[in-house]
Copies of this chain bind each other. A is one copy, B any other.
């Protein structure tokens, strides 16, 4: 009856932020319906969480095997069509492999696996199946990142001659200098994080971004990593020289010890005809630089953008996409009020605000029409 795609999720329960992100994202264009999944290794926890997010519990499973078994028995039109894998990194590989082998479409968080070897095996599984597989390098979904790619593809900056991507964070600074604190951080534990902290977590985003926007493939790299302390086993900072060809060179700079930086991902691509620059912390501006011309600042939603970019914009120009969140906060406040939970009166505007607004409009027109005189609002 519904044309929505049936979605299952592995992981992402409890306080998981990535869980929130995937659930909201899946609802954005009215195209998915979350059916169930395995939110937690403990079935009871998983069911509890399902209730919290308003799901029925009949398709909450003990583990991925049970999920596959049960779903495959359902008629095709009722079966989960796609499964999002949000579990810890080391589980991506076995879970995704099993899902592919059983014909499920997969949306997998990055990094794809914990080793290159596993990744190649997974790629083969996919080739033998007939499914869709997406890795959520989220930043490629921004309208102005898509616009950057389309402009480069269309030759608007000419042949590329220089590529520079930065991804700086500072959060590890607060733990790295204290050995006790450091040992509590899973990203610094080779058993859980694999062979890299900084490059594995964010350098890889930078790498993906470069190949996405430039359309070029990196051929060779030369890396210089920093571990700061000898007994720290994984890199927390890395600069990587890139070679695309004899002609085109590039740089990735990534860091988790750029103290005070939040999530400072910047992309600069320079071609023979122009340069394009984008910053994740100001994602609605794309800068086009050209010799002898004013800088151009492109923003989402305008007709001068490409189809690919416009497809990812839901609101008119000037409404930052974050306005969804702003409205979401107001809905949240109303929910608290309806549920008689504790809430701050500032969480949503009330009828009083609406009444004041109407008084304001009428008195404004009255003041003007009477020759720009003072008029009192009702109090």
Say whether, besides A217-B379, A353-B137, A24 and B33 are in contact (CB < 8 Å).
Answer: no
* Cross-chain contact B275 with A260 (CB below 8 angstroms): yes
Contact assessment for A56 and B282 in the assembled complex, using a CB-CB cutoff below 8 Å: no
Contact across chains for A275 and B258 when beta carbons are under 8 A apart: yes
A173 contacts chain B at the CB level, 8 A cutoff: yes
> Is B211 within 8 A of A367, CB to CB?
no
Q: Which residue of B204, B322, B330 is within 8 Å of A284 (Cβ)?
A: B322
The yes or no answer to A180 lying at the interface (CB within 8 A) is no
Give A23-37 interface residues, CB cut-off 8 Å to B. Answer: 23-33
Chain A 337-379: CB-based contact to B (< 8 A → 1; otherwise 0): 1110000101111111111111111111101100011111101
Closest chain B residue, CB of each to CB of A340: B132
State in angstroms the CA–CA spacing of A290 and B299 once bound together. Answer: 13
Task: Enumerate chain B residues within 8 angstroms of A330, measured Cβ to Cβ.
Answer: 25, 107, 134, 136, 138, 140-141
**How far, in Å, is A218 (CB) from chain B's closest CB?**
6
A222 is an interface residue with CB less than 8 A from chain B? yes
A25 to chain B, nearest CB (A): 4
Among B200, B315, B368, the residue within 8 A (CB) of A223 is B368
Is A95 an interface residue when CB atoms closer than 8 A count as contact?
no
Within 8 A of B (CB), among A7-36: 17, 20-33
At the interface, yes or no: A154 with Cβ under 8 Å from chain B?
A: no
21 A–B contact pairs at CB < 8 A?
A: A3-B54, A4-B54, A28-B328, A31-B332, A33-B54, A107-B331, A115-B358, A116-B359, A134-B348, A142-B322, A142-B329, A196-B361, A199-B360, A207-B356, A220-B375, A221-B367, A251-B251, A259-B275, A262-B317, A320-B320, A322-B322
User: Are B364's CB and A196's CB within 8 A?
Assistant: yes
**Chain B residues, CB < 8 A from A32:** 331, 335
Determine the distance from Cα of A220 to Cα of B302 in the docked complex, in whole angstroms.
Answer: 38
A105-B334 contact given A2-B54, A173-B291, CB 8 Å threshold: yes
- Say whether A63 faces chain B, with CB atoms less than 8 Å apart: no
Query: Residues of B contacting A293 with CB < 8 Å?
Result: 260, 302, 304
Distance in Å from the Cβ of A77 to the closest Cβ of chain B?
A: 13
The answer to the question of A308 belonging to the interface, with a C-beta cut-off of 8 Å to chain B, is yes
Taking the closest CB of chain B, its distance from the CB of A29, in whole angstroms, is 5
Minimal beta-carbon separation of A169 from chain B (angstroms)? 7
Contact B379–A219 (Cβ < 8 Å): yes
Residue picked from A51, A56, A324, A359, most chain B C-beta under 10 Å: A324
Q: Is the Cβ of A351 less than 8 Å from the Cβ of B275?
A: no
Residue pair A27, B24 in contact (C-beta under 8 Å): yes
